[in-house]
Amino acid sequence: METFETLVRAEFAPKNVYLNTASNGLLPARTVSAVQQAVRMRAEGTPLGPLYEDVEAVRASFARLAGVPVERVATGASVAEYGGLIAASLPAGAEVLTAEADFASLVNPFHMRGDLKVRAVPLDRLAESVRPDTALVAVSSAQSADGRLADLPAVRAAARAHGARTYVDASQSAGWLPMEAGEHDFLAAVGFKWLMGPHGAAFCVVPEDFGGLTPLLAGWVAGEVPWDSCYGPVENLARSARRFDISPGLFTFAGLRTSLELIEELGVSAIQAHDLALADRFRAGLATLGHEPVPAPGSAIVSVPGLGHRQPELGEAGIQVSDRAGNLRAAFHLYNAPEDVDRLLDVLSS
């Protein structure tokens, strides 16, 4: 029986200390092979039916990870497109409550409407800031800039108490933190970060009644029978969330299928334990160096104020991290090991 470590070693062999999953996840070896095979199929003129089957396999895999029926999962290309659909469903003048400095792809579609009241408050005050005229609370489960986790149970409770819906962007947590998507009205996530897929795929979990969304981006793939929906208006939209799909990037989904299979094989709980152990090791090491990270207990992302300027130096030393708003951001995932943490601390101490 393969262990966590043997599975990971078989899939990853990074040439540097890669601590930047919050920007882009590494591709497993199986994913690289799957994408190459898909490209060969296209080059050789092979029928592409199996690649469309990959899309449905990916949808089913994400549904299992999200803990919802597959009929509630839509596939697309970006979180912003789903935010646009949600924004379009709100009446003029509706209030959308967000966290200050949350990721642009989450909040910007609501600002672009022009006739919504978008109110931003500190993340730790989000739940207490829901009020009777709040229509939607939109927040990232883990903040991109510093890894802070939203108190989603408190946000849900406050939203329900005031009749508001909730919209969660799980892009920085899907793959290492249980999504529990069934607890929210809407949940979206990209596939190229902690889910370790190629760029170009995203997901949205919608309510069974679709939550008032109109499939404004619907093309032929949104039909109940896509191949019978190629010409003229789509007469019969899919009876599931697939009505919110856009035409898929087939190479991307071919690769993402195998990435999600690996996550399911390893188990999110095991990945979470692995990632958090490394993040806590880094936090403990920072304390010995006299540095205090942004408080983000339970997060696989560690952000250190005042050290962002050292990102180029770390890059030259073969350590990939991010500089976000002057903070040094390190993100720990399943292909990282304790020696990666120790190497980062060693360079920072010099």
Nearest CA-CA partner of 199 in 10, 42, 26, 20: 26
Instruction: Give the contacts of 146 (CB within 8 A, at least 6 positions apart).
Output: 294, 296, 301, 303, 324, 327, 329
pLDDT at 325: 85
- Paired with 322 in beta bridges are 329
H or E stretch covering 113: helix 104-113
Residues counted in the chain: 350
pLDDT at 1: 57
CA–chain centroid gap for 24, Å, is 11
Residue type (1 letter), 43: A
The overall longest dimension of the chain from CA atoms, in Å, is: 66
Query: Which CATH code fits 41-265?
Result: 3.40.640.10
Model confidence over 201-243: pLDDT tens digits?
999 999 999 999 999 999 999 999 999 999 999 999 999 999 9
Model confidence over 335-347: pLDDT tens digits?
999 999 999 999 9
Domain coordinates in residue numbering, the chain: 4-28+267-349, 41-265
With a cut of 70, list the residues of the chain below it in pLDDT.
1
CA angle 204/206/209 to nearest 5° reads 155
User: In this structure, which topology does domain 4-28+267-349 adopt according to CATH?
Assistant: Aspartate Aminotransferase, domain 1 (3.90.1150)
Nearest CA-CA partner of 150 in 133, 167, 135: 167
